[in-house]
Amino acid sequence: MRRVIAVDGKVVRGSRTSTAAAIHLLAAMDHHGVVLAQRQVASKSNEIPSFTPLLDGLELENTVVTADALHTQHNHGAYLAGRGAHYVAVVKKNHPGLYAQVRKLPWQDIPLGHRTRDHAHHRDEIRRLKVAAFSHLDYPGARQAIQVVRWRRDLSTGKLTIERLYLITSLSVFDATCTELATSIRGHWGIENLLHHVRDRTFREDDSKVRTGTLPRTMASLRNLAVSVFRQDGQTNIAAALRHTGRDYHRPLRALGLM
């Protein structure tokens, strides 16, 4: 199994002042939840120019990088190929030509590659994945197109929602199975949840009033460190670990101002 690295951004809302916008950070985490790198996005910019500097210091050979649709950029694909890395990239309508190319594939005729069903958070969810090998995708190194269809039924209201997601990957049919692709895609969703849910709700990052100089970025790095320590300790539910574990995590976290 290749190492999978997720790239995702987060705005530290509590760092906003009357004269300055909130700090925007871009992080790289492996799919076990360990933070590998973090970079502050330049003011009056977005995450795109920070993508390659964020990854420059990491060993990427034979890894798989996952990111949201904002980073499905030709330059990013070429950069990862040059570093010997693979990618699983989301394709949305902000790339209309590529999106149309992938969406119009004959998905109804393509056999199902992977299916899962889960009951959680008062909802029933089914995920179906199909993969099509395609050598003429207009993106550097792309070898396959992916369709993920998610059915979600709210068990309290009965409301059903259906979402179709399209992705591309440089992994060929010989490099990864449909199950491995599904795991990488779902793993990225898990990392997005970890970055936002844990830092906002468990560590209450958005309530922090630290705003001076580089301190917001430093505090975010310490929160990332705390998350990494918990994950390396085998804790998947950090809030529950803080409530129920016999170890006294609270004292050092409070001393650092993280709780």
Judged by DSSP in three states, 222 sits in: helix
Residue 24 CA to residue 235 CA, distance in Å, equals 27
Do the beta carbons of residue 88 and residue 80 sit within 8 Å?
no
Residue type at 231 in one-letter notation = R
Judged by DSSP in three states, 11 sits in: strand
Cα(first)–Cα(last) distance of the chain, in Å? 36
Where would I find the H helices in the chain?
A: 51-56, 74-82, 96-103, 178-193, 215-232, 238-244, 250-255
Place of tokens 């101002």: 257
Residue 98 tokens, joined: 């590529």
Q: CA-CA distances (angstroms) from residue 85 to 77, 78, 80, 108?
A: 9, 10, 5, 31
Question: Per-block average pLDDT, block size 10, for the chain (259 residues)?
Answer: 89 65 84 85 86 96 95 96 96 93 95 90 89 89 96 88 96 95 90 64 58 62 64 55 51 51
In this structure, the chain runs to a length of: 259
What is residue 228's predicted lDDT score, i.e. its pLDDT? Answer: 61
Do the beta carbons of residue 149 and residue 162 sit within 8 Å?
yes
Give the contacts of 45 (CB within 8 A, at least 6 positions apart).
none
Residue 136 CA to residue 76 CA, distance in Å, equals 18
What is residue 205's predicted lDDT score, i.e. its pLDDT? Answer: 57
Sign of CA dihedral 152, 162, 110, 172: negative
- Which secondary structure element, helix H or strand E, spans residue 145, and what is its range? strand 144-154
What is residue 249's predicted lDDT score, i.e. its pLDDT? Answer: 47
Residue 159 tokens, joined: 């409301």
Residue 127 CA to residue 32 CA, distance in Å, equals 21
DSSP 8-class letter at 194: I
Give the contacts of 105 (CB within 8 A, at least 6 positions apart).
132, 134, 145, 147
